[in-house]
């Protein structure tokens, strides 16, 4: 897209929606807009070929491969072309009207071929639930807590359950493609979309999002791994050129995608806006043809992000299979232009056939054809809220708890709750992934009210949930607008709970990691007035905490979703023993980051620039280890109301794989869940950083109880990737295995194992 159309980010999308809303209010607007629009009616007017006498591709006993091939063979050229051009599900500025068959205010629509029994594709965002494009009448659905919160559970099963739940709501809402499966690595803590993703470690991120994707696809839907690839900041996302060498990429960002793909087999992949090493991701032969389709054997289809296409021939030959929401781009590149390019041979007919084959393959493989969706299905919102709440409860991370101020004890006379609209709800992140809350937004009107807003709170009130558990205590709320007044109110309380927040969203990175507005001053003043101050953070990701030493406890609650208020209160009162662990490092200051200052200029989004990922594969804790930096809270950190100890770490090798076992014991007085983490570190060989996460488990233990845990290490995590030979290589020698509570655990138990030399192919499989 040219830089002018970058405006679709900050201007055109909201303009589109604004126009839609205006159109509903003013007939004159409708007339004006309508005349400028393409006539979708032409589609219907084209004479349809006859329905075939038999439709062997509908035979469920055949393989997806066979069915896709049979269906493809039965198609006309026009029918084939119809699959590769997607339409936006809302009016787009003064350019186009919503496709009449698209679900209102949805992300996208691709017409089906009814004469062949092939349904249309109805696309919805995204990873936290069923979203709606900016609208006055949004779908109200259940929202999961943020992706980082789900990842912070380190609980595979919860990630699956969350995916299954939102997939169910998508199906009941008439959608068969969920644009969910975001796994961009957290290289940039200020990235406005970190809350949609799964943190800084490729194994953790790939594994957790894979579970979500599996859950979604268990509903016979297509899920979408995105944004492929190295779309790691929002500032300048349409124009930036991410520079990262192949080997580093394969061991970091790409590894997260590769793991997700292997474990969950998503039907589609969304290529991203940015360039990678000079080439736009959606026409990037290296990314799409070489890595994704050839090296990893991806059988589904690549769809573009909305507004990420810049060409017809380059994109088609570069591996893009479906042009999404074409209205966002300068031209309908995969419309008439593609037809012509195929006619004159610039794009081979076989390539068009393969594009369609891939789409059909995903549709058959995931059950989209055999299980048609229908809008208006029943949704059990009460049950779904509990799924979301269970996720939030395990994702909340107890960062600090001095003097055991938490869990809150019975017998308090006065509890003061301050700030962040905690009287009425919990914050959500902004952009296309926003799930509009059931019952509406309790805090309307906060800027920005248009893209990437609105700023929305889920009406699950922490204050109400705290009151319900406070026994005889008087619970007082203060909105935190005036730090001095809040401090005065807090001074004589038995305990103070200050909520702080950071709203970010798609297209909008955090300008800094400092809490916005007066919140640092507020927390500082309150903690000074009353040392029994508990800080609850509702942030996308890491923030700076200049007041950390003054506070008694810090609770990272992320964007907590539909049941967030209850989840927070249950953790505060000990009904839930916290068991979340950080999926990302919290730095002391931005000067510790590989890029102390964010690249690009949010005020000049047209200027092309380069982001040089000089840290290579040393992302997050790996960077901190490499540079000997001590973070505020390390990756993997998370406290509990009990304690756990480890013993008996032992290693063996089976079938070329390193296997580990150990025992976890709950040495405290209450039941709890632990996340024992295994890191590996080469003794002689040199990696991008001193150590890597190689495995973990989540175990629930009663007081005094022990459990045996065994893990198998993916040999890629013991290798360096070699670009020249396209192999993963384990160097012969000693490797330290550390059993730790977090990446910064100085008391980690360790053993050293000797590993033989091993070579794995590009897909991570042993070679002879
Ligand atoms: C986002 C995608 C999203 C699409 C459709 C884009 O702006 O980057 O993640 O799926 O819009 O709403």
Residue 735: phi, psi to the nearest 5? -135, 130
CATH 3.20.20.300 domain locations along the chain: 65-365
CATH 2.60.40.10 domain locations along the chain: 644-760
Which among 37, 128, 159, 42 is positioned nearest to 90, based on CA atoms? 37
As a whole number of angstroms, the distance between CA 325 and CA 597 comes to: 33
pLDDT digits (tens, 9 = 90+) for 368-383: 999 999 999 999 999 9
As a whole number of angstroms, the distance between CA 384 and CA 164 comes to: 10
DSSP 209-229: HHHHHHHHHTTS-EEEEEEET
Q: In the prediction, which pLDDT does 31 show?
A: 29
How far is CA 272 from its chain centroid? 14
As a whole number of angstroms, the distance between CA 124 and CA 78 comes to: 25
For 630, residues 6+ apart whose C-beta sits below 8 A from its C-beta are: 588, 624, 744
Instruction: Give me ligand 1 centre to Cα 293, in Å.
Output: 22
- Please work out whether the CB of residue 126 comes within 6 Å of at least one atom of ligand 1: yes
- Please work out whether the CB of residue 125 comes within 6 Å of at least one atom of ligand 1: yes
- Please work out whether the CB of residue 432 comes within 6 Å of at least one atom of ligand 1: yes
Instruction: Give me ligand 1 centre to Cα 432, in Å.
Output: 6
**How close are the terminal C-alpha atoms of the chain, in Å?**
45
Contact 117, 369 (CB under 8 A): yes
Class of domain 65-365: alpha beta
Which among 216, 132, 212, 708 is positioned nearest to 431, based on CA atoms? 132
Q: Which residue has the tokens 């021939």?
A: 313
Which residues of the chain have a pLDDT value below 70? Answer: 1-47, 768
Q: In the prediction, which pLDDT does 371 show?
A: 98
Pair of tokens at residue 692: 């890597």
- Please work out whether the CB of residue 268 comes within 6 Å of at least one atom of ligand 1: no
Taking the CA of residue 125 as reference, the ligand 1 atom at the shortest distance is: 10
Which among 200, 226, 206, 124 is positioned nearest to 159, based on CA atoms? 206
Q: Which residue has the tokens 């088609």?
A: 316
How far is CA 571 from its chain centroid? 24
Q: Within 10 A of 668 (CB to CB), how many other CB atoms are there? A: 17
Q: Which residue has the tokens 């469920």?
A: 60
- Which residue's alpha carbon is at the smallest distance from atom 7 of ligand 1? 306
Instruction: Give me ligand 1 centre to Cα 135, in Å.
Output: 16
Q: HSE of 247 in the Cβ direction (CA atoms, 13 Å)?
A: 15
Instruction: Give me ligand 1 centre to Cα 284, in Å.
Output: 19
- Please work out whether the CB of residue 305 comes within 6 Å of at least one atom of ligand 1: yes
Q: In the prediction, which pLDDT does 47 show?
A: 65
Residue 4: phi, psi to the nearest 5? -60, -40
Taking the CA of residue 224 as reference, the ligand 1 atom at the shortest distance is: 10
Classified as helix, coil or strand, 207 is helix
Pair of tokens at residue 494: 């038995």
- Please work out whether the CB of residue 306 comes within 6 Å of at least one atom of ligand 1: yes
Instruction: Give me ligand 1 centre to Cα 165, in Å.
Output: 21
Contact 502, 516 (CB under 8 A): yes
Active site residues: 305
DSSP 8-state class, residue 666: E
Q: Which residue(s) pair with 665 in the sheet?
A: 645, 706
Classified as helix, coil or strand, 591 is helix
Residue 247: phi, psi to the nearest 5? -65, -45
Pair of tokens at residue 592: 């510790």
Pair of tokens at residue 88: 């936006």
For 601, residues 6+ apart whose C-beta sits below 8 A from its C-beta are: 235, 236, 607
Q: Where are the beta strands (DSSP E) in 667-748?
A: 672-674, 677-682, 692-696, 699-701, 706-713, 720-722, 727-730, 733-740
Contact 217, 261 (CB under 8 A): no
Identify which of 9, 124, 125 to mutate to test ligand 1's pocket (most ligand atoms within 8 A of the CB): 125
Identify which of 305, 434, 505 to mutate to test ligand 1's pocket (most ligand atoms within 8 A of the CB): 305
- Which residue's alpha carbon is at the smallest distance from atom 4 of ligand 1? 306
Taking the CA of residue 196 as reference, the ligand 1 atom at the shortest distance is: 9
Q: In the prediction, which pLDDT does 35 show?
A: 33
Q: Within 10 A of 750 (CB to CB), how many other CB atoms are there? A: 12
- Strands 749-755, 301-304: pairing is unpaired
Q: Which residue(s) pair with 249 in the sheet?
A: none
- Which residue's alpha carbon is at the smallest distance from atom 6 of ligand 1? 306
Q: Where are the beta strands (DSSP E) in 182-333?
A: 222-228, 241-243, 268-271, 275-276, 279-280, 301-304
CATH 3.40.50.1700 domain locations along the chain: 389-582
Contact 427, 584 (CB under 8 A): no
Q: Which CATH number among 3.40.50.2300, 1.20.210.10, 3.40.50.1700, 3.40.50.300 corresponds to the domain 389-582?
A: 3.40.50.1700
Q: In the prediction, which pLDDT does 22 show?
A: 42
Pair of tokens at residue 21: 């809303």
Instruction: Give me ligand 1 centre to Cα 243, in Å.
Output: 23
- Which residue's alpha carbon is at the smallest distance from atom 2 of ligand 1? 305
Range 644-760: architecture per CATH? Sandwich (2.60)
Contact 208, 151 (CB under 8 A): yes
Cis bond before residue 454 (omega within 30° of 0): yes
Contact 552, 405 (CB under 8 A): yes
Instruction: Give me ligand 1 centre to Cα 430, in Å.
Output: 12
As a whole number of angstroms, the distance between CA 494 and CA 530 comes to: 9
As a whole number of angstroms, the distance between CA 383 and CA 171 comes to: 16
């Amino acid at each position: 897209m040219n830089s002018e159309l970058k405006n679709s980010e900050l201007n055109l999308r909201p303009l589109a929606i604004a126009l839609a809303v205006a159109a509903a209010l003013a007939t004159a607007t409708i007339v004006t807009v309508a005349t400028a629009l393409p006539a979708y009616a032409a589609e219907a007017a084209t004479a349809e070929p006859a329905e075939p006498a038999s439709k062997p591709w509908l035979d469920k006993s055949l393989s997806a491969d066979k069915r896709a091939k049979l269906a493809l063979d039965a198609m006309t050229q026009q029918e084939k072309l119809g699959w590769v051009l997607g339409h936006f599900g809302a009016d787009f500025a003064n350019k186009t009207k919503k496709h009449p068959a698209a679900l209102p205010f949805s992300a996208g629509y691709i017409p089906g071929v009814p004469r062949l029994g092939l349904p249309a594709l109805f696309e919805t965002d995204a990873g936290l639930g069923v979203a709606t494009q900016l609208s006055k009448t949004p779908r109200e659905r259940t929202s999961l807590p943020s992706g980082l919160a789900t990842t912070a559970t380190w609980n595979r099963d919860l990630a699956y359950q969350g995916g299954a739940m939102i997939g169910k709501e998508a199906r009941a809402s008439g959608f068969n493609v969920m644009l969910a499966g975001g796994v961009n690595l957290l290289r940039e803590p200020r990235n406005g979309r970190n809350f949609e993703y799964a943190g800084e470690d490729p194994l953790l991120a790939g594994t957790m999002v894979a579970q979500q994707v599996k859950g979604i696809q268990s509903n016979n839907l297509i899920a979408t791994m995105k944004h492929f690839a190295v779309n790691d900041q929002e500032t300048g996302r349409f124009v930036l050129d991410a520079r990262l060498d192949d080997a580093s990429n394969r061991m970091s960002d790409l590894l997260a995608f590769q793991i997700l793909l292997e474990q969950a087999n998503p039907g589609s992949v969304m290529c991203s806006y940015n360039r990678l090493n000079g080439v736009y991701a959606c026409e990037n032969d290296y990314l799409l043809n070489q890595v994704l389709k050839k090296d990893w054997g991806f059988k589904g289809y690549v769809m573009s992000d909305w507004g990420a296409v810049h060409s017809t021939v380059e994109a088609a030959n570069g591996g893009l299979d479906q042009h999404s929401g074409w209205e966002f781009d300068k031209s309908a590149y995969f419309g008439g232009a593609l037809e012509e390019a195929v006619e004159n041979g610039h794009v081979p007919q076989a390539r068009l056939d393969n594009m369609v084959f891939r789409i059909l393959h995903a549709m058959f493989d995931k059950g989209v054809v055999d299980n048609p969706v229908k809008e208006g299905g029943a949704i059990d919102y009460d049950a779904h809220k509990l799924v979301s709440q269970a996720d939030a409860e395990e994702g909340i991370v107890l960062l600090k708890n001095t003097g055991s101020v938490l869990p809150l004890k019975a017998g308090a006379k006065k509890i003061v709750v301050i700030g962040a609209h905690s009287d009425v709800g919990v914050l959500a992140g902004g952009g296309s992934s926003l799930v509009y809350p059931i019952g509406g937004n309790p805090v309307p009107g906060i800027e920005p009210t248009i893209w990437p807003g609105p700023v929305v709170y889920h009406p699950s009130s922490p204050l109400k949930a705290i009151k319900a558990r406070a026994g005889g205590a008087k619970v007082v709320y203060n909105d935190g607008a005036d730090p001095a007044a809040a401090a005065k109110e807090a001074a004589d309380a038995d305990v103070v709970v200050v909520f702080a927040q950071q709203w970010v969203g798609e297209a909008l990175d955090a300008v800094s990691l400092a809490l916005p507005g007066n919140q640092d001053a507020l927390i500082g003043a309150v903690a000074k007035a009353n040392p029994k101050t508990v800080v609850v953070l509702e942030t996308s990701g890491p923030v700076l905490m200049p007041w950390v030493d003054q506070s008694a406890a810090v609770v990272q609650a992320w964007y907590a979703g539909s049941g967030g208020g209850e989840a927070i209160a249950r953790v505060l009162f000990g009904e839930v023993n916290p068991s979340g662990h950080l999926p990302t490092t919290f730095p002391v200051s931005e000067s510790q980051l590989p890029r102390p200052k964010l690249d690009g200029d949010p005020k000049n989004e047209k200027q092309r620039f380069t982001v040089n990922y000089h840290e290579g594969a040393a992302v997050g804790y790996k960077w901190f280890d490499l540079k000997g930096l001590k973070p505020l809270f390390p990756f993997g950190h998370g406290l509990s109301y009990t304690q756990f100890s480890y013993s008996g770490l032992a290693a063996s090798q089976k079938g070329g794989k390193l296997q580990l076992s150990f025992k976890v014991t709950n040495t405290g007085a209450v039941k709890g869940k632990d996340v024992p983490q295994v890191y590996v570190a080469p003794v002689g060989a040199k990696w991008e950083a001193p150590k890597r996460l190689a495995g973990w488990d989540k175990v629930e233990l009663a007081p005094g109880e022990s459990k045996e845990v065994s893990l198998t290490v993916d040999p890629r995590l013991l290798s360096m990737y070699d670009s020249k030979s396209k192999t993963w290589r384990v160097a012969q020698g000693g490797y330290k295995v550390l059993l730790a509570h977090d990446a910064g655990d100085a008391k980690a138990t360790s053993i050293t194992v000797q590993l033989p030399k091993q070579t794995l192919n590009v897909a991570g499989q042993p070679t002879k």
